[in-house]
Structure 1
Amino acid sequence: MKIGVIMGGSSSEREVSLMTGQEMLANLEPVKYEGIAIEIGRLEELADQVRDIDFALLALHGSYGEDGTVQAALEALGIPYSGSGVFSSHLCMDKHLSKQKLRAAGIATPDWLLLKDVEEQEEHLAEEVRKLGYPVFVKPNTGGSSVGALPVTDETSLLLAVRQALEWDSSVLIEQFIPGDEITCSILGGELLPVLGIRPQTAGWFDYEAKYQHGGAEEEVIVLPEEIAAQVQTTALETYSLLQCGVYARIDMMLKDGIPYVLEANTLPGMTKTSLMPKSAAAAGIGFTQLLDRIIELSIRERSEGEAGRLTKPV
């Protein structure tokens, strides 16, 4: 089977995508698959480059990769791809929309503000953020890998952080800081893998350097009290289902006073040497090659079932 590993893209996470793509290529099972590197810059380049592949293994992150755009293009071309479908990819990429759904379903998530036009909202911004309470996190609404994200502790640095985040996106999320333990829940085929606890070593929070530099963070399986572990599992799986994720995803949380607060769901989590999902899978006895194999198999089944559903849907 010819597996096209699609990487690159035009988002702020291009370099992370290239690292993910190279790691995937290096770990594909050579007996079963022929890995083909497909590096794209613009969406218009996709059709010509995927013409001869049987399956698209997505190593993309950020805009056009995680937001459903590439997924929709691949569906139009009739090429099965890895991970969640178009709707879920778009929903999870938009932090504001996904948090709205979480809040409506009764799943705990930090309070937040959405800012689209700093000039129009600047007059009331400081007052609204004071209601959230400092510190807060300012981040692009549809970004990832902590690119453009900054912790803010006072009004002096608020506008500067907002303007910086707006360089990466047209809207900005200002999110309440939840003090506690940062954890991440990787889900594969609807089953929760071992939960990892995260302790940044290079900064006070899990920023870009902590995520991708060797030794940037201490990431280990965390053993939680039985009752809290059950609550974390329930919250992770409910989030996965509510946001209609498929095949695999990673749910990031803050754990405070035994309550898991969902920060976001990642439908195409990083798969570099330092990434969280491969570490969680390894703790479950699933090596990188086996993990990729299961993602491919589950994705083919997911796309096949989705197509069958469309064909049998009454008109």
Structure 2
Amino acid sequence: MQIGVVMGGISTEKEVSYLTGKYIIESLDKDKYEILPIPINTKYELIDRVKCLEFAFIALHGSFGEDGQIQAILESIGVPYSGCGVLSSALCMDKDTSKKVFVAENIKTPRWIMVRREEEINYAKIEDMGYPVMVKPNNGGSSIGITLVNHKEELDKAVKEALKYDEEVMIEEYIKGEEITCCMLNGEVLPILSIKTKEEFFNYSSKYDDNGAEENAIELPEPLQKNVEEICKRCWESFKLRVYGRIDMIIKDGEVYVLEINTLPGMTKNSLFPKSAKAFGLSFSELLDKIIESSLNTSKY
């Protein structure tokens, strides 16, 4: 089977995408697949480069990767691709919309407000949430453009920084607790990973540098483990996820808060999903096989 690994793209996460693509290419079984690296720098070069593929493995992150755009293009030209579909990708990429779905489904999530410019900051609402708060671009990942704000005086600068990366900025209640991530494959929860970092939060260097964070598979106490797994499955169903995804959470005082859902989680050598799969007993090559097989089985194109 001929597989094109689409990487690069146009987002601020381009560098991470190339790392993901490189690791996927190195790990795919050369006896099973004819592998074609497909680096892209614009939206417009995509169709000509992928239209003859048997399968596109999407190694993009951020805009025109996780937001449903590339998925829609691939569906329109009949090329099967890895991971979630258009709707799921778009919903999960938009943090504000994701949170509205969480609330509608009675899934706990930190409180938040949205702003489009500095003048819209509602300081009274933020005081009600209490400092510190997280300031982040609404559409984005890899912790790019995110700031932990401890005092009111730092807020304007943090919002201005986040607006460099997106037209909308989320100001979110900071929940200090145990950070975990739950990787899901075909609707099943893989081993939960605990994340411990020396930084104030799980930032870019924590995610991608060697020894940037301590990430270990854990078994939570029985009632909490069951609750986390149930929340994961509710997220899977509510967002109509398919094939694979990663759900980031914080646990505080026994309460579980969902932060966000990643429909194209990082697949670098330091990424969380390969670590969770390994704890489950899957090598990275075997994980890629399962993603390809499941994507083909669920594809309508």
TM-score normalized with structure 1 length: 0.94
Deviation at 1:52, TM superposition (A): 2.7
Report percent identity of matched pairs. Answer: 49
Residues 146-201 of structure 1: per-residue CA shift (max 9 Å, x gap): 00001001111101000000000000011101111000000001110000000013
Matched, 1:134 2:115: no
1:82 equivalent in structure 2: 82
- The one-letter code of the counterpart of 2:42 is R
Answer whether contact 1:113 1:174 (CA < 8 A) is retained: yes
Other structure's SS at 1:156 match: helix
Match of 1:245 among 236, 241, 245: 241
Matched, 1:293 2:259: no
- The one-letter code of the counterpart of 1:207 is N
1:310 equivalent in structure 2: none
Give the CA RMSD over aligned residues. 0.8
2:142 equivalent in structure 1: 145
- The one-letter code of the counterpart of 1:219 is E
In 2, distance between residues paired with 1:135 and 1:34?
50
Runs in 1 of length 4+ with deviation above 4 angstroms? none
Residues 72-130 of structure 1: per-residue CA shift (max 9 Å, x gap): 000111100000000000000000001001011100000001111323x14xx222211
In 2, distance between residues paired with 1:194 and 1:214?
21
Deviation at 1:295, TM superposition (A): 0.2
1:181 equivalent in structure 2: 178
Give 5+ residue unaligned stretches, structure 1: 308-315
In 1, distance between residues paired with 2:144 and 2:151?
21
Deviation at 1:51, TM superposition (A): 2.7
Deviation at 1:42, TM superposition (A): 1.0
Answer whether contact 2:117 2:163 (CA < 8 A) is retained: no
In 1, distance between residues paired with 2:153 and 2:78?
51
Give 5+ residue unaligned stretches, structure 2: none
Worse-matched range after superposition: 80-89 or 43-52: 43-52
In 2, distance between residues paired with 1:231 and 1:274?
27
In 2, distance between residues paired with 1:181 and 1:222?
12
Match of 2:263 among 249, 264, 267: 267
Q: How does 1:1-315 map to 2 (within 5 A)?
A: 1-119=1-119, 121-122=120-121, 125-201=122-198, 203-304=199-300
In 2, distance between residues paired with 1:172 and 1:258?
29
Other structure's SS at 2:195 match: strand
Other structure's SS at 2:182 match: strand
In 2, distance between residues paired with 1:271 and 1:17?
9
Answer whether contact 2:180 2:194 (CA < 8 A) is retained: yes
Answer whether contact 1:240 1:265 (CA < 8 A) is retained: no
In 2, distance between residues paired with 1:132 and 1:171?
19
Other structure's SS at 1:271 match: coil
Other structure's SS at 1:102 match: helix
TM-score normalized with structure 2 length: 0.99
In 2, distance between residues paired with 1:2 and 1:110?
43
In 2, distance between residues paired with 1:170 and 1:26?
36
In 2, distance between residues paired with 1:51 and 1:126?
50
Kindly tell me the number of residue pairs found equivalent between the two proteins.
Answer: 301
- The one-letter code of the counterpart of 2:108 is A
In 2, distance between residues paired with 1:53 and 1:18?
20
Deviation at 1:37, TM superposition (A): 0.4
